[in-house]
Amino acid sequence: MECKKGETITSLTGTPGYMAPETIINRPHDFCADYFALGVILYELTFNERPYNGNNRKEIKDQMFTKEEINLNNDDLPEDFEDNNLIDLINGLLKRKKGKRLGSKGISEIKNHPYFKNIPWEEIENMKFKSPFIINNEDNFDKSYVEEEDSDSIYEGKKENYINEINESLVFNNFYFNIEDKLIKEKEKQKND
């Protein structure tokens, strides 16, 4: 599903801990809900927990609306963090009211935030940005893990056995892992008919 600027949706799909307030209460929402989720992710990466927690959607929703709105200070940053702009970014993304949320007037609000001041957006958008971290396959990939036989598998490494059992189960009836499997089954059915 794609939501363009100016459009709203009311789908209640997603992981509750990352849902924007308007989404979790099933109100029309737009791209600003994604910016809230980005704020949750940044919060979680910074503090090793989400801003609103609970065991289910109701608990998370209750906490979201009863707990004070997230308003971090620079003192809240872990000691090893140096960029105070991160706090301002997280606070801006986690605004409950989508009209006040950073990005509500367009993505340029986020892209122009001081936290992202050194990001070459144009190079990234034109796929010309060279990653500062380049993986050396020789040093970072141990091929022995993918070359080993799967001795623990009850199917002895035979994908067909697994797929056939799944496709024959009531839960995954007519479910296909890829289009080729579906086409093969359809041809078999046509031959039998």
Residue 102 in this model has a pLDDT that exceeds 60: yes
**Which of 6-20, 71-85, 86-100 is least confident?**
6-20
Residue 111, CA distances (Å) to 102, 105, 107, 116, 119 in order: 10, 12, 6, 6, 8
Total residue count of the chain as it appears in this document: 193
Contact 64, 21 (CB under 8 A): yes
Amino acid residing at 3: C
Cα-to-chain-centroid distance, residue 102: 19
User: What is the per-residue pLDDT across 116-159, written as a single tens digit (0 to 9) for each?
Assistant: 999 999 999 999 998 887 777 666 666 676 666 655 555 555 65
pLDDT at 1: 41
Query: Region 40-66: what's the mean pLDDT?
Result: 90
- Structure-token pair, residue 173: 């009836």
Residues 6+ apart with CB under 8 A from 121: 111
Contact 40, 101 (CB under 8 A): no
What whole-number distance in Å separates Cα of residue 94 and Cα of residue 72?
Answer: 10
Query: Region 12-33: what's the mean pLDDT?
Result: 81
- Structure-token pair, residue 52: 């609103």
**What are φ and ψ of residue 142, in 5° steps?**
-95, 100
DSSP state of 76: G
Sign, CA torsion 162/165/170/176: positive
Amino acid residing at 172: F
Q: Which CATH class is domain 16-125?
A: mainly alpha
Mean pLDDT of the chain: 79
Q: Shortest CA distance to 70 belongs to which of 46, 95, 47, 88?
A: 95
What whole-number distance in Å separates Cα of residue 40 and Cα of residue 170?
Answer: 38
pLDDT at 44: 94
* Parts of the chain belonging to CATH 1.10.510.10: 16-125
Residue 114 in this model has a pLDDT that exceeds 70: yes
